[in-house]
Amino acid sequence: MYTLGIELGSTRIKSVLIDNSFEPVCIGSHNWENKLEGGIWTYSIEDVWSGVQASYANMAAKYRQKFNSERLSLSAIGISGMMHGYLPLDSDGNVLTKFRTWRNTNTHAAAEKLTELFDFNIPLRWSVAHLYQAILNGEAHVKGIDFLTTLAGYVHYRLTGKKVMGVGEASGMFPVSEKNYDHTMVEKFDQLHSNPWRIGDILPEILYAGECAGALTAEGAKLLDPSGALKPGIPLCPPEGDAGTGMVATHAVKRNTGNISAGTSIFSMIVLDKPLSRRRAEIDIVATPDGKPVAMVHCNNGTSDIDAWVNLLQESASLFSKKTIDKAEVYSELYNAALAGEPDCGGLMAFNYLSGEHNTGMEEGRPLFMRTPTARFTIANFMRTMMYSVMATLRLGMDVISKEENINIDLLVGHGGFFATKDVAQKLMAGALNTPVAVMETANEGGAWGIAILAAFLQSDSTLDEFLDEEVFENRKSTLIKPDAEDTAGFEKFIACYKAALVVERAAIENYK
């Protein structure tokens, strides 16, 4: 029997099949990309289902080829997706408006009002911020909302008929307290509007890791696998966002552990052993999949700008070689070149803002590269600059955790595509944060492997901590890189220039339309 994890990430929908030893057996994937439509970052619902089906079919085809068998027996399934955002449904299960992803930053008025009302930081991407902004905007669909969910919750609902959510993802929809949505904040929110529903009635039921979240229905089985080979009745674990699955995938759900997830967005998760001293605009308070409080530093912009530059450099190289050069090879060579760059990037500077960045107060994004007239403009310095730009906003938020909240972090575990090239991003990240960074051998499988692990946890009588310690990670290998003093000193110079140059990014947003 195998366990299946499916994660709808920002650029790929990945299906990871794991065995009883929690090792990936077959991996299927489907590439997709968000679209900016009418000022909203979105994916169409049609693309959701065609992508999920393609990813599952790709995994199943690899299974048939590998084992020469049509019989794929699943003991459990888990669904994960891009965290938070906004997906409202009516009483018939129809989506009322285009899916609004975590990337949207058009909820400033709502987030600011709710933060003050609750005395609790409400980030721009949280579901309640999107909901209240829609109320403020007078959007007609709001009155018809019967169920408000996220991408993971929506896919899970269509597969099982259950309106549920894992506590980690739920804590990014609306603040959670005592295993439910915070009662006082629920009452305060309901006093803000005159719609026919109450917020507590339209939010999903909260479930914890290890609790059964329903079973695959006949309709759900056909939706996931139109071939008809997949049979209904398979149990599903609570759906989670990619933040929660990342914590599981990096063995970072115990108190005082932490991880960094780096892909289209970049964020860190630090499991707390005490509350923060006060509300912090740079820090979101969410939860692990088993309900422990987490300090999250989330940055909207990760590797998308690097990917654009890699595409350009790949195209350039192909012009001269007269053949298409493999993109994975281009990535590997360029990332490794960054290691030869000067520790402070030699006078180069970049902002990777394709979308707004709340941690630096930018409502929109303008990808920006610049240099001084005397800068050392080499490919090594350029690539190090591009990689530093991914880390810069994260570093600003991490400074609040370490310097203002005095939370000691002895180790961070990295995962996601940014860490796929061996040692490179790991070494630079260790220097940028002046903290040792470990990367596990499953780092590139990311959250899809993490949600598969949570699905496997349905069969366990242990706590999640015990399950991960004693069964999943007991013999799993990782590499550790400690900060290099020159890298750390160089990044300090870079981040000082980065802060000073934020006015340039602001000017670009205001004047370059």
Instruction: Give the model's pLDDT for residue 85.
Output: 95
Instruction: Give the model's pLDDT for residue 374.
Output: 96
396 part of a folded domain: yes
Q: Pick the most confident of 261-265, 321-325, 448-452.
A: 448-452
Instruction: Give the model's pLDDT for residue 473.
Output: 92
Instruction: Give the model's pLDDT for residue 321.
Output: 80
Q: Is the pLDDT of residue 442 over 70?
A: no
Domain range for residue 438? 250-306+341-513
Q: What is the CATH number of the domain that holds 25?
A: 3.30.420.40
Instruction: Give the model's pLDDT for residue 147.
Output: 98
Mean pLDDT of 468-487: 93
- 362 lies in the same domain as 418: yes
Quote the CA–CA distance of 369 and 385 in Å, as a whole number: 9
- 226 lies in the same domain as 363: no
Confidence bin at 136 (pLDDT 50/70/90) = very high
pTM for this predicted structure: 0.90
| Buried/exposed code over 294-326 (b: 16+ C-beta within 10 A; e: otherwise) | bbbbbbbbbbbbbbebbeebbeeeeeeeeeebe
Nearest to 444 by CA among 2, 21, 29, 3: 29
- 192 lies in the same domain as 270: no
Dihedral of alpha carbons 95, 101, 105, 109, sign: positive
- 155 lies in the same domain as 20: yes
Contact 351, 388 (CB under 8 A): no
- 83 lies in the same domain as 211: yes
Any bridge partners for residue 264, and if so which? none
The domain boundary residue, chosen from 238, 261, 287:
238
% of the chain at pLDDT higher than 70: 99
Among 104-113, 394-403, 445-454, which is the least confidently predicted range? Answer: 445-454
Nearest to 381 by CA among 411, 343, 416: 343
Contact 390, 262 (CB under 8 A): yes
Structure tokens at 285: 């308070």
The domain boundary residue, chosen from 196, 213, 238:
238
- 162 lies in the same domain as 302: no
- 225 lies in the same domain as 274: no
9 part of a folded domain: yes
Instruction: Give the model's pLDDT for residue 384.
Output: 98
417 part of a folded domain: yes
Model pLDDT for residues 73-121, shown as the tens digit of each residue: 999 999 999 999 999 999 999 999 999 999 898 999 999 999 999 999 9
106 part of a folded domain: yes
468 part of a folded domain: yes
Instruction: Give the model's pLDDT for residue 443.
Output: 63
409 or 130, higher pLDDT: 130
The domain boundary residue, chosen from 238, 265, 296:
238
Report phi then psi at 316, rounded to 5. Answer: -60, -45
435 part of a folded domain: yes
Per the prediction, the chain carries an average pLDDT of 95
Model pLDDT for residues 192-205, shown as the tens digit of each residue: 999 999 999 999 99
Domain count across the chain: 2
- 231 lies in the same domain as 286: no
- 149 lies in the same domain as 293: no
141 part of a folded domain: yes
Instruction: Give the model's pLDDT for residue 444.
Output: 63
327 part of a folded domain: no
- 390 lies in the same domain as 503: yes
Contact 453, 248 (CB under 8 A): yes
Nearest to 241 by CA among 7, 424, 465, 51: 7
Confidence bin at 256 (pLDDT 50/70/90) = confident
Quote the CA–CA distance of 100 and 235 in Å, as a whole number: 29
Question: Within a 10 A sphere around the Cβ of 183, how many other Cβ atoms?
Answer: 11
- 135 lies in the same domain as 267: no
Q: Is the pLDDT of residue 140 over 80?
A: yes
Structure tokens at 244: 């929660």
- 273 lies in the same domain as 140: no
